[in-house]
Amino acid sequence: MTGSPAAPVALDGSHVLAVPRGTPVLEYARAWFPAAAWSREPATAAQAATAARPTGARFRGIALAAPDPAGVLSLDGVAEVVGPHPVEAAEARALGLPARPSDLYGLPTGPVAGATVGPDLVAGWATAVARRAGGGILPAARDRAVVPDPAAAVDLTLWSAVPLSPDDALPLVRPSLSGSRLTLDAPPGGAIGFIVTASYEYDGAVEVRCGRSREVPAVLSTLDWREHGPWSYRVTWRPPDPMELEVPHPSQLHVIARQRVAPGIARVVAALWRAVGGTVVDAGGFLVPHAEVEERARPR
């Protein structure tokens, strides 16, 4: 469906990231690219209207082209994301995207001279943003729309300055993950502190892996150092068939199992956070507010 009438002409030839109207794209960009900044900030509706309305007698009867209200978001000083280009719900639906008012952003389709981030990394970031925000991706060919399932990302990691011993962690984990047991106990100075695992007959297993990490997600560099630490508590789901994590449309059995384990994962993270503090990061590398963790913990 090349040249779809719902796609803004300014985005022709670009890959497109679509997100719900008002999504804080700069915040998401800094989660992966901490130096990201607007090299040209988007104009507000009022600013665009004022700029397009000339004043004075000499302008009477003259129609001027409205200035481009889209901003330019630099990821690394060279590679750029251009937008937002707003579309209404019907236009988004025509493009195969979620039917809601959306903002579209143009992405580079190939390597950019002098850029420190490649197109594959930008595409990975855009896909993660689309999943996190409930949006989608339009390839430059406009032959399809890619709409990642936000519910597919259930894994969470708590980053804290406080390590727990297995004896302290087990009572925090077991109320949310029945049958949890210690499956690996290593010296605290090692790469892995311990692993607690809860296994289920039909739903796979959930691992809580505590360890000290030398590398932390880029998003933590945007926070005060006192808000996190090098100790990670990774709560990860291992489904019965791991290959289903890689497919866009997993089986109904996989989806049901995921729905059953997801609240327990969030409850474990909430319990650990109350014990040791820190910051929660999701599988896409984005911050997860505590209110959202609590919301995820509610049974569905």
Contact residues for 143 (Cβ-Cβ < 8 A; gap 6+): 1, 2
β-strand pairing of 136-138 with 15-20:
antiparallel
> Which is it for the CA torsion 173, 251, 300, 233, positive or negative?
positive
| DSSP assignment of 280-292 | EEETTS-B--HHH
Q: Is the pLDDT of residue 59 over 80?
A: no
pLDDT at 54: 55
Where does the pLDDT of residue 2 fall: very low under 50, low under 70, confident under 90, or very high at 90 and above? very low
Contact residues for 153 (Cβ-Cβ < 8 A; gap 6+): 131, 132, 282, 283, 284
pLDDT at 114: 87
pLDDT at 193: 85
Encode pLDDT of 101-138 as tens digits. Answer: 999 999 999 888 888 899 999 999 999 999 999 999 99
Q: Would you state the structure tokens that stand for residue 238, as one six-digit string?
A: 């291992």
198 by Cβ neighbours in 10 Å (0-12 / 13-18 / 19+) ranks as buried
3-state DSSP helix/strand/coil percent for the chain, to nearest 5? 30, 25, 45
pLDDT at 17: 98
φ/ψ (deg, to 5) at 3:
75, 35
Secondary structure class of 183 (helix, strand, coil): strand
Q: What's the per-residue H, E or C state across 74-120? A: ECCCCCEEEEEEEECHHHHHHCCCCCCCEEEEEECCCCCCCCCCCHH
- What's the mean pLDDT in 224-246? 95
Position of tokens 């959930």? Answer: 206
Secondary structure class of 53 (helix, strand, coil): coil
CA distance 13 to 141: 7
Q: Which of 41-50, 184-193, 261-270, 271-280 has the lowest mean pLDDT?
A: 184-193
pLDDT at 63: 52
CA distance 286 to 276: 20
CA distance 181 to 84: 49
Count CA within 13 A, CB hemisphere, residue 112: 20
* Encoded amino acid at 14, one letter: S
What are the residue boundaries of the structural domains of the chain, listed by start?
9-147, 151-296
Encode pLDDT of 8-58 as tens digits. Answer: 889 999 999 999 999 999 999 999 999 999 999 998 765 655 555 555 555
Q: Say if residues 215 and 230 touch (Cβ distance below 8 Å).
A: no
List the helix and strand counts (H, then E) for the chain. 7, 12
Predicted TM-score (pTM) of this structure: 0.88
- What's the mean pLDDT in 209-233? 94
Q: Say if residues 108 and 80 touch (Cβ distance below 8 Å).
A: yes
Q: Say if residues 157 and 234 touch (Cβ distance below 8 Å).
A: yes
Write the CA distances from 128 to 4, 138, 174, integer angstroms. Answer: 25, 14, 31
Where does the pLDDT of residue 266 fall: very low under 50, low under 70, confident under 90, or very high at 90 and above? very high
pLDDT at 279: 98
